[in-house]
Amino acid sequence: MNSTTLLHILRIVILSLIQILVCKHIPLQSGAVQYMFLIIYPVGLILLPLQLPQFFNLLIAFACGAFVDLFYQSPGVHAGACLWMMFCRPLILKIFEPKSGYSTNQHPTGDSLGLFWFLQYAAVLMLIFFIAYFSLEIFTFVYFGEIVLKTILSFLVSMFFIFILQIVISPKQ
């Protein structure tokens, strides 16, 4: 286990802690039903290095989701959504692959591949995450409208924070 891997794992842990200690308690509720949820910890998974085998990616995603689940009292919901997102990541990476392909020293960050590239890439994965998350939470497609509404609102607010985070922290790796 080299220092880069440790850095990624540390980042995921810190983001998860921010999620459960801060974001979870931010009230974004105006009516009786909360439609807006600020969820930023998947960024840690999105930023995982390109070279890591998918097998480990999935294990990390599951562990991360399960950890957050412990504090959300919703066993399986976050872990399942993280797994879906991570499962789709190679496909999304392939779609957004630059013409010259990924080089070994590139990372899926705004600093390495351009801010616009990163926002596109992160937006698609976050969208997948939210759809999976709210579908698993409600667990029936009867409330399809509710799923869509929650997904869009949460996606917008979360993406806004992810954008700020990306500019402020600007991770190199």
Partner 1 sequence: MIRFLQLVVQNGSFILFLILQTYCIYQVIQYNQRQKDIYIYSSQKWTNSLQSKINTVNNYFSLRKKNDDLAQENANLLTQQLNHQSLLNTIVSIDTNKQNKIDSGLARYHVLAAKVINNSVSKVNNTMTLDKGSKAGVLPGMGVVGPHGVVGIVTDTSEHFSLVMSLLHTKSKLSVKLKRSHFFGTLSWKGRNPEIVELNDIQKYADLKLNDTIVTSGFSIVFPEGLPIGTVDAFQVEAGGFSYSINVKLFENLSALDHVYLINHLYKSEKNQLENLSTKYE
Could you say whether residue 93 binds partner 1 (CB under 8 A)?
no
As measured in angstroms, the least distance from the Cβ of 167 to partner 1 is 32
130 binds partner 1 (CB under 8 A): no
Q: 55, 101, 116, 172: which one contacts partner 1 (CB under 8 A)?
A: 55
Q: Are 66 and 78 in contact (CB under 8 A)?
A: yes
Q: Work out which of 38, 58, 93, 127 binds partner 1, going by CB under 8 A.
A: 58
Under rule CB under 8 A, residue 80 binds partner 1: yes
Q: What is the DSSP letter of 21?
A: H
Q: Provide, rounded to whole angstroms, the least separation between the CB of residue 42 and partner 1.
A: 15
What does the radius of gyration of the chain's CA atoms come to, in whole angstroms? 16
Smallest separation, CB 85 to partner 1 (Å): 11
d(CA 82, CA 129) in angstroms, rounded, equals 6
| Residue-wise burial string across 88-112, b where 16 or more C-beta atoms lie within 10 A, e elsewhere | bbeebeeeeeeeeebeeeebbbbeb
116 near partner 1 (CB under 8 A): no
Q: Which is nearer to partner 1, 44 or 80 (CB)?
A: 80
Residue 23, both tokens: 């974001």
Closest CA to 150 of 137, 163, 167, 169: 137
Stretch that binds partner 1, among 26-34, 59-67, 104-112, 153-161 (CB under 8 A): 59-67
**Cβ(77)–Cβ(36) below 8 Å:** no
**Closer residue to partner 1 (CB): 103 or 140:** 140
Question: Is residue 145 close enough to count as binding partner 1 by CB under 8 A?
Answer: no
